[in-house]
Amino acid sequence: MKKLLFVLAAGAVGVAFSLGFATRGHSTSAAGCASLAVAVNSDHNLVYDPATGYLHIDYYGQSGHLEGATIDANDPGCRANPGVARAIEHARAAAREVTAGDCAQFKALLNGAPVVAKGGVTPNLAAAKKYIAEEC
Amino acid sequence: MLLFVLVSALSALASWPLVAGANDIKAQFPSANGGILWMSRREGYAGLVYITSTHCNSGETTAYNNIKSSTTGKAQMTRWTSGIQMSNYRCDGVWDNYADIRINYKDQSYFRQPDGHYIGGRNVDTAASSAYCSFWGTSYPCGSRPTVEINTQKFFGNSLSYEESEIEHETGHSFGLAHHCVGIAVMNNGASSCPDGWQGHFGSAPGYFATDRQGIDNVYP
């Protein structure tokens, strides 16, 4: 009986350790850019809000495990960290492409291109005009 | 008796991450209302996802079919009764206000790691601007405009099943899913201790698994 319990206990220890390591595979931190070890191009999933500079970076850490950090993309200090600077570049490039596409379409709509509803919602052209004035 | 208590305590400790990790499936959006499925539901076309791709191909089409079949009629997807229905709306990769996700095939140099190996893709989730929200008659924040960047050489140099997995995984991020390791998943985080190993079901993914669907349910409360 004692042997059985010993085996069960050892098994549970093993499972606990393996799951503990599993949860360590993806950690998240909120830190200054200087202390982040983000290798260039290691960013894999970015969540970016151009309006606020919020940038969450999921990246492959030195151990090969995925790690995460949230930074302010407008913080000049982040440009000194090459890996973070590259992630910011990726985020901003994607945002620029969204803006370029929106500008072209908004301009076309205001120049008379057909307005098509989506899901029963008719687009608001006044918002398009405002966007062009502010962003294009 | 002491050993029984020890075993019970360790068993509880072992199972704890499975519960505590459930919400780690969610990605971190800048606001509570993030993600394209939130916008599609609010705009009356729940589950429909319009894709603009720089290179429409069979890997994309098969992946979309897999995603639809693995999200239709499932317990975690009751708010999307017809599942997630993705379709190639444009094949020139141009963003417009009708597109929900852009898939952009890029040279492998964009994905080169310091040790010389290449990752297969990247998701960049840009929060929708207030103008976009107003354009569609709603208010900021109103979801996101995700761009999936795909390593062209790696994608087309691999099998169709790899292509499907790559699209399913990266667009999973676009829906708001983070990497996770709480069960068999398309969004496996690559840790060797994951339930389905470090590679997970990558390369043979027939669509989303229960933990992936649970993640979508968590993202859109």
The domain that contains B119 carries what CATH number? Answer: 3.40.390.10
**Nearest in space to B172 (alpha carbons), one of B22, B21, B15, B35:** B35
B32 inside 8 A of chain A by CB = no
In a domain, A2, yes or no: no
Distance from CA of A84 to the nearest CA of B (A): 14
Instruction: pLDDT band for A93, please (50, 70, 90 cuts).
Output: very high
- Phi and psi torsions of A66, nearest 5°: -80, 135
In a domain, B6, yes or no: no
A16-30: average pLDDT: 38
- The range of the structural domain enclosing residue A105 comes to 24-135
Domain count, chain A: 1
Q: Which residues of chain B does A60 touch, with a Cβ-Cβ cutoff of 8 Å? A: 113, 119
Does the pLDDT of residue B198 top 90, yes or no? no
- Looking at residue B218, its pLDDT comes to 85
Instruction: pLDDT band for A7, please (50, 70, 90 cuts).
Output: very low
- Looking at residue B145, its pLDDT comes to 93
CB contact (8 A) between residue B119 and residue A46: no
Distance from CA of A44 to the nearest CA of B (A): 5
Does the pLDDT of residue A12 top 80, yes or no? no
In a domain, B14, yes or no: no
Q: What is the ipTM of this complex?
A: 0.84
In a domain, A6, yes or no: no
A69-81: average pLDDT: 92
In a domain, A16, yes or no: no
SS3 B129: coil
**Per-residue exposure over B18-54, b if at least 16 CB sit within 10 Å of its own CB, e if not:** beebbebbbbbbbeebbbbbbbbbbbebbbbbbbbbb
B130 inside 8 A of chain A by CB = yes
What pLDDT digit, counting tens, does each position of A96-115 carry?
999 999 999 999 999 999 99
Distance from CA of A21 to the nearest CA of B (A): 7
Query: Could you give the CA distance from residue B101 to residue B53 in angstroms, rounded to a whole number?
Result: 8
Query: Which residues 28-87 of A have a C-beta within 8 angstroms of B?
Result: 28, 39-52, 54, 56, 58, 60, 64-66, 68, 70
- Looking at residue A2, its pLDDT comes to 55
Q: Which residues of chain B does A45 touch, with a Cβ-Cβ cutoff of 8 Å? A: 27, 122-123, 125, 173, 178-179
- The range of the structural domain enclosing residue B198 comes to 24-219
B10-18: average pLDDT: 37
Domain count, chain B: 1
Does the pLDDT of residue A3 top 70, yes or no? no
- Looking at residue B86, its pLDDT comes to 96
Q: Which residues of chain A does B127 touch, with a Cβ-Cβ cutoff of 8 Å? A: 47-51, 54
- Looking at residue B35, its pLDDT comes to 76
In a domain, A18, yes or no: no
What pLDDT digit, counting tens, does each position of B118-163 carry?
999 999 999 988 888 899 888 888 889 999 999 999 999 999 999 9
Query: Could you give the CA distance from residue A16 to residue B5 in angstroms, rounded to a whole number?
Result: 15
B89-108: average pLDDT: 95
Does the pLDDT of residue A120 top 90, yes or no? no
